[in-house]
Structure 1
């Protein structure tokens, strides 16, 4: 078995989270910190770098969701929220804030590991898809930039499309940079010179 998952536990309830902490420890998880307020969440997560965050709340407040969203933006982690609130609007708001799994009245020790495993797998898949989307967008932006630079070379040098592309490519290779970087420099210079 690998090393235990490292967790930060957020208590946003009036009751103590001792039973939840004990159940997490019994399931083989390591609880790095217990946070009494979501206000501390971003700082604690940045400092401790846990594998996941567990939030115990009666009902997710706007403040809690805002702090989760900030943490999710700065240091995304799988977030599992255990709550007694099954209101659809609260569920949607929690998911928009970055909650990976929203579990209503399901705080039983036997379910902890499977719920966390699913939340982590879902988080990893969403991250992979986000990275893939960002890469596709970057490639599309690079392609548009290269096409624009190619058009500039064609116009200024009187070259055909293939010849202009090959010139840009040779220039990139000679400079040891990516083709998109040469295209960006050419477009910027063209805009500067008018």
Structure 2
């Protein structure tokens, strides 16, 4: 497993690097601050990101939220600050595990496994949500296209649906794609 370390504190994290290497992780070149995080993730393609911070700054949380949107990865944050608001903000920005009060090397491997499992679970939920949202958009477009056919060609709902299906089969397209073409054409023609 490839691990990217981000050290946003004055303390050295050589002990963390050694603990990761000892349990068999591939530790990538360290990132000094959160500002270069997105680029480092895109270039180095880590499996997990570990942040060592005193307290997550607003800039760091913004960088993590951007990372979560553009290149999601499991993120483990070790922090000295256990403020409830900061923890909620960090979790909202995509942090899979927020660990307060130090990082014991013996706890590292289980923490990373939990963070990766939580990230994977969230990814599946996010994918299901995306799929459901797409199905809803498809359904709305199909209904709108049926309405246009019913209105412009005096068709029944069943006939409009049958016409959409027939066109989709003839063109080798999905029903929703044919519906979107009809909607676009109707918008073009006014």
| 8 Å contact from structure 1 (residues 27, 112) kept in 2 | no
1:53 to 40, 44, 49: 49
Aligned partner of 2:141 among 118, 141, 145: 145
Measure the CA separation in 1 of the matches of 2:81 and 2:23: 25
SS in 1 for 2:28: strand
What is the alpha-carbon root mean square deviation over aligned residues? 1.1
SS of corresponding position for 2:173: coil
Equivalents in 1 of 2:157, 2:61: separation in Å? 52
- Taking the aligned partners of 2:89 and 2:146, their CA distance within structure 1 comes to 46
Runs of 4+ in structure 1 off by over 4 angstroms are: none
The TM-score, its normalising length taken from structure 1, stands at 0.94
1:60-99 maps to which residues of 2 (within 5 A)?
A: 60-99=56-95
Aligned length: 190
Do 1:9 and 1:33's aligned partners in 2 also have CA atoms closer than 8 Å? yes
**3-state DSSP of counterpart to 2:81:** coil
Mapping for residues 1-194 of structure 1, pairs under 5 Å: 5-194=1-190
Q: TM-score, normalised by structure 2?
A: 0.96
Identify unmatched segments of 5+ residues in structure 2.
none
Q: Give ranges in structure 1 of 5+ residues lacking alignment.
A: none
